[in-house]
Amino acid sequence: MGRYFGTDGFRGEANINLTADHAYQVGRFLGWYYNEKRAHAAEEGRPVKEGPARIVIGKDTRRSSYMFEYSLVAGLVASGADAYMLHVTTTPSVAYIARVDDFDCGIMISASHNPYYDNGIKLINDQGEKMDEETINLVEDYLDGKLEAFGQKWETLPFAQKDKIGCTVDYVSGRNRYIGYLISLGMYSFRGMKVGLDCANGSSWNIAKAVFDALGADTYVINAEPNGLNINLDAGSTHIEGLQKFVVEKGLDVGFAYDGDADRCLCVDEKGNVVNGDHILYIYGRYMKERGKLVTNTVVTTIMSNFGLYKAL
């Protein structure tokens, strides 16, 4: 665990132990760091991306997410990086866009399944994966007043001047392309299926229904009216009982519950029984294997998966 960043990023209660200034300073460092990284690559004759550093940002529906978004953007552009804003979107979408659109890194503003008054800053590398520890340590050093990178020390970060100040880009088109990507993964039509969605008043509220609708499902949604204060409030994957009741009462075929930033999901069958992550992996794994679509005949799990899953597969 780092001084500020844990396994899920820099988290804390908004304006208590995670402030707008923290976000601004993170933006200042990352904007400078990735521009400096490009400059060093050019000096060493290595392939380098043209133009200023490009960083993509997403956020969930918490009231404080807007404050942190603007603070991050201010820091990034002050250091000469271009900030691309996906606006309210999911953590997986930031990871996807960071990779396929060749960004230097991605930032997601969210505290996942935590209550609305918490928030967090999660850093994602250009491959759509969790940021490496070395870069995280440099960010934390800067937050502690130490600026050292590329084998050198600096007293202060320079501010970009004139036309070197970064641009702010409305990048909602990136989020829309991610929705298209999800739709393209559909293996068959869901026409005739009644699907329930619990969006936790979070990031999935304007994405999940669009995907299932496009796949032909009759989609029924609860907890898709975010107001900045109701994210995860008796809703979503940490309060699955609401979806269980909804599915049974509406006579739906299946239900899916997401958490605040939609990087986790639970399923409910037509009888209201919970289908957890291991069950979902088993169902998809067997389905794909039987149809010859399971690449390298492998299912990837975490250390939290039950041994029963391994035996069943």
Residues 23 and 166 in one domain: yes
Classify residue 312: in a domain, yes or no.
no
Confidence bin at 8 (pLDDT 50/70/90): confident
CB 198 within 8 A of CB 232: no
Classify residue 62: in a domain, yes or no.
yes
Classify residue 303: in a domain, yes or no.
no
Classify residue 300: in a domain, yes or no.
no
- Residues above pLDDT 70, as percent of the chain: 99
DSSP 159: P
Residue whose pair of structure tokens reads 């004139």 in the numeric block? 162
Residues 83 and 220 in one domain: no
CB 91 within 8 A of CB 129: no
Q: Is the pLDDT of residue 1 over 70?
A: no
Assess whether 112 carries a catalytic annotation. yes
**Dihedral sign from CA coordinates of 100, 101, 104, 110:** negative
* Spatial separation of the C-alpha atoms in residues 253 and 211, rounded to whole Å: 17
Residues 234 and 172 in one domain: no
Classify residue 307: in a domain, yes or no.
no
Among the listed ranges 147-151, 201-205, 247-251, which one has the minimum average pLDDT value?
Answer: 147-151
Classify residue 308: in a domain, yes or no.
no
Copy the structure tokens of residue 248.
């049974």
Residues 28 and 155 in one domain: yes
- Residue 49: its pLDDT value, please? 83
Residues 80 and 129 in one domain: yes
Residues 161 and 57 in one domain: yes
Domain residues for the domain of 237 are 186-275
Classify residue 313: in a domain, yes or no.
no
Copy the structure tokens of residue 200.
């936790």
Single out the residue of 205, 267, 194 nearest to residue 232, CA to CA: 205
Domain end, chosen from 151, 176, 201, is at 176
Question: What digits encode the pLDDT tens for the residues 113-140?
Answer: 999 999 999 999 999 999 999 999 999 9
Residues 249 and 117 in one domain: no
Domains: count for the chain: 2
CATH code for position 90: 3.40.120.10
Highest mean pLDDT: which range of 34-48, 123-137, 290-304: 123-137
pTM, full prediction: 0.94
Catalytic residue (choose from 71, 93, 110, 112): 112
- Residue 303: its pLDDT value, please? 85
Residues 130 and 148 in one domain: yes
Classify residue 130: in a domain, yes or no.
yes
Residue whose pair of structure tokens reads 């989609």 in the numeric block? 219
Residues 20 and 157 in one domain: yes
Dihedral (Cα; 48, 50, 52, 56), 10-degree rounding: -80
**Dihedral sign from CA coordinates of 53, 59, 65, 67:** positive
Residues 152 and 40 in one domain: yes
Q: Beta-carbon neighbour count of residue 3 at 10 Å? A: 13
Residues 149 and 192 in one domain: no
Residues 140 and 209 in one domain: no
Mean pLDDT of 13-24: 98
Mean pLDDT of 214-233: 98
Give me the helices (H) in 144-262, please. 172-184, 208-214, 241-250
- Residue 117: its pLDDT value, please? 98
Q: Is the pLDDT of residue 151 over 80?
A: no
